[in-house]
Amino acid sequence: MTSKKQRAVVICPGRGTYNKEELGYLKNYHGDKLTFIENIDQYRQLKGQLAISELDAMENYSMRTHTAGENASALIYACAYNDHQAINPELYDVVAVTGNSMGWYIALAVAGALNHDSAIELINTMGSMMSNGLIGGQLIYPIIDEHWLKDKSREAQVMQCLVEVNQQAGCEVYVSIYLGGYVVFGGNKQGLKALENRLPIIDERYPMNLFNHAAFHTPLLSSVSEQALKQLPVSLFSTPDIPLIDGLGNIWQPYSTDLNKLHQYTLTTQVTEPYNFSKALEVAIKEYAPDKLIILGPGATLGGAVAQCLIEHKWLGLSSKKDFVEQQKQAPFILSMGIAEQRKLVL
């Protein structure tokens, strides 16, 4: 007798997920998807860009090469999209899709709102927008304690620092992403430097500047939004096959999505306004009550942020990092396809 399918929400990763450890991910897991990879490589060849198959097969990982937007975005898309295709449909019924930051573009492809050609055109175009020089940068900082519980006083202190920095001449910093127990800030170089100097050092790691990242999801990217609207028409989009949860926590339904609004949200709102991944996660668990959350590869860095969202809402009775670690050992609720043991449970 076959067991009942489990309900799963799929989470698509953002730009920072193809790191040194992920070199070879595409070849190792999806080396057989030749047509899919060749299509992307041919598209990029016409743009004078490195093939993703070549990037993935390099002997050594290069921060400068592999994290550059024009390379990272297409590479991560190929890994994540094919991970989604590898989910066993006899085990899981995918009830909704969401993503973090650039993961929104991948979510559009996974949910069927972009076909293959439209997906690589949108993802590669958006990823290449700043190949001549980044606009601003990003910095990440925790607002949780060692038990992964939200520290309200620290959060207030951090936001006060943000206000004070923006009062200084020439400084411009905004919240870029609400990422579980972390806040990602986007701003100009002067503003980020001033914020970094004000924030107390935590674990000798934070505040941490994100290498090769621009001031995504802030008004500083309004010129990128304007260019995108000129280059990427609404005709690239289709109604999704699976409900999509965006960075404001809104749900785009298969039968009621207005394509003009989806186009506008994708190329304007989420480019220039904060991406609330925490809200997207809250909507995913409360609206869809999934049996599992499946995080697509490459990498597994999103797992912590997702867990911190679960703890904040006491989902499954989780109230600390310790609870989460125990839960994952006994019956994992989060399955990261970038982690070999968890990947086996998805295929």
Question: Which CATH number belongs to the domain containing residue 195 in this structure?
Answer: 3.30.70.250
Within a domain: residue 249?
yes
Average pLDDT over residues 88-112: 98
For range 301-305, the mean pLDDT: 96
**For residue 311, is it within any domain?**
yes
Are residues 197 and 252 located together in one domain of the fold? Answer: no
* Same-domain status, 102 and 44: yes
Are 128 and 146 within one domain? no
Q: Which structural domain range is residue 174 located in?
A: 137-218
**Which of 172, 194, 218 lies at the terminal end of a domain, its last residue?**
218
Q: Same structural domain for residues 262 and 324?
A: yes
Q: Is residue 1 one of the residues assigned to a domain?
A: no
- If asked whether residues 303 and 169 sit together in one domain, one would say no
Q: Do 172 and 282 share a domain, yes or no?
A: no
Note whether residue 313 is domain-resident: yes
- Confidence band for 62, pLDDT divided at 50, 70 and 90: very high
pLDDT in tens, 252-282: 999 999 999 999 999 999 999 999 999 999 9
pLDDT exceeds 90 at position 1: no
**Looking at the 3D structure of the chain, how many domains does it have?**
2
Q: What is the CATH number of the domain that holds 54?
A: 3.40.366.10
Task: Tell me: do 239 and 124 sit in the same domain.
Answer: yes
Q: Assess whether 209 and 174 both reside in one domain.
A: yes
Examine the fold and report which residue of 200, 218, 236 is the final residue of a domain before the chain moves on: 218
Residues 119, 19: one domain? yes
pLDDT of residue 187: 98
pLDDT band at 3 (very low <50, low <70, confident <90, very high): low
Residue at 157 is within a domain = yes
Asked whether residue 298 is domain-assigned, the answer is yes
**Statement: residue 2 has pLDDT above 70:** no
The per-residue pLDDT for range 12-54, each reduced to its tens digit, is 999 999 999 999 999 999 999 999 999 999 999 999 999 999 9
Q: Please indicate, yes or no, whether residues 201 and 241 belong to a single structural domain of this protein.
A: no
| 238 and 121 together in one domain | yes
Query: How does residue 131 score in pLDDT terms, banded at 50, 70 and 90?
Result: confident
Domain identity same for 165 and 313 = no
In a domain, 153, yes or no: yes
Give the per-residue pLDDT at 132.
86
**Domain boundary residue, one of 218, 244, 275:** 218
HEC sequence for the chain: CCCCCEEEEEEECCHHHCCHHHCCHHHHHHCCCHHHHHHHHHHHHHCCCCCHHHHHHCCCCCHHHHCCHHHHHHHHHHHHHHHHHHCCCCCEEEEEEEECCCHHHHHHHHCCCECHHHHHHHHHHHHHCCCCCCCCEEEEEECECCCCCECHHHHHHHHHHHHHHHCCCCCCEEEEEEECCEEEEEECHHHHHHHHHHCCCECCCECEEECCCCCCCCHHHHHHHHHHHHHCCHHHECCCCCCEECCCCCEECCCCCCHHHHHHHHHHHHHHCCEEHHHHHHHHHHHHCCCEEEECCCCCCHHHHHHHHHHHCCHHHCCCHHHHHHHHHHCCCEEECCCHHHHHCCC
Model pLDDT for residues 219-231, shown as the tens digit of each residue: 999 999 999 999 9
